[in-house]
Amino acid sequence: MNQTVSWEWELTPQKKWFQLELNDVYNYLGLLKSFVKRELIAGYQQTIMGVFWLVLQPLFTTLFYFLIFSRIVKVSTDGIPPLLFYMSGSILWSFFSDCLSSSMYSFIHNAHIFNKVYFPRIITPLSMVLTHSIRFIIQFAFFLIIYLFFVGFGYVHPSKYLLFLPIVFVLIASLALGIGMIVSIFMAKYRDLEQVMNFILRFVMFVTPVVYPASIIPKAYQLWFWLNPITPLIESFRAAFFSTTIPHHEFIWLSIVTVILLFFIALVIFKRNEIKVMDTI
């Protein structure tokens, strides 16, 4: 009698370049949910304020930016209320930075699990991004409350581009996840890459319109400024809430293409090295 055998795993001498096996993520959804729950609970255990830090952190950061850049340095906000301007930049940058920073430690922080049991390694960076996405949703809801207060008094006016905000969030998360997956492969072997990445993140923050508007950038540097893929995303977010037009559409499309290509390349590199990298940890 002929029987068809369905294999759960198949070992081959060499993986194909585009053998991404993304269906494995669906098969391990329960594990993914467990990891997300673990990170959410562990992040606020043994803290006095608990989950209230999700609101206090962007609030304190916004007040700090407001004091330094609005009152002391007196940086323009293009007519946007400073509180909303700095909070919008703060929560978006924190979301991107936290997703990237946590996903690049995927192998180092989970080596004790990887050495004991097999599951798709992409579950770990993906769980970190989902965890920070939940945190971001809470912070974004807090931002909306303050924003609606300003709308009620007529200080700001929303635009039709608010409908595209979910795409902006997905692109930011995908960009952070893609970079984080690539870095996690190399960081497993070269630990000093951690210091390099921390420096790069600080540098990129100050060349991204987080605490200042894109309009103050001199024309000589505009091209390099807009080539930063996260710049059009942050500016699109602000345009949706504070104006009726999105600036530099060509750079927005370039950012979208860059994010998609980078994410696909990151998946290929990650899948080809997820098993090999365990020999170096």
pLDDT tens, position by position, 19-74: 556 677 788 888 899 989 888 887 776 666 667 778 888 889 999 999 999 889 88
Query: Using one digit for the tens of pLDDT, what is the confidence trace for 186-202?
Result: 988 888 888 999 999 99
139 within some domain: yes
42 within some domain: no
134 within some domain: yes
21 within some domain: no
Task: Name the residue among 87, 242, 93, 216 with its Cα closest to residue 161.
Answer: 242
219 within some domain: yes
Domain total in the chain: 1
Question: What is the pTM (predicted TM-score) of this model?
Answer: 0.88
Tell me the pLDDT band of 225, cut-offs 50, 70 and 90. Answer: very high
**What's the mean pLDDT when you consider all of the chain?**
86
260 within some domain: yes
Q: Write b or e for each residue in 192-216: b if 16 or more Cβ atoms lie within 10 A of its Cβ, otherwise e.
A: ebeeebeeebeebeeebbbbbbbee
Rounded-to-integer distance, Cα 80 and Cα 212, Å: 11
Tell me the pLDDT band of 3, cut-offs 50, 70 and 90. Answer: low
pLDDT at residue 22 in the model: 67
**Domain, as residue range, for 58:** 50-279
If you average pLDDT over residues 163-180, what whole number do you get?
A: 94
Lowest mean pLDDT among 25-34, 131-140, 221-230, 269-278: 269-278
236 within some domain: yes
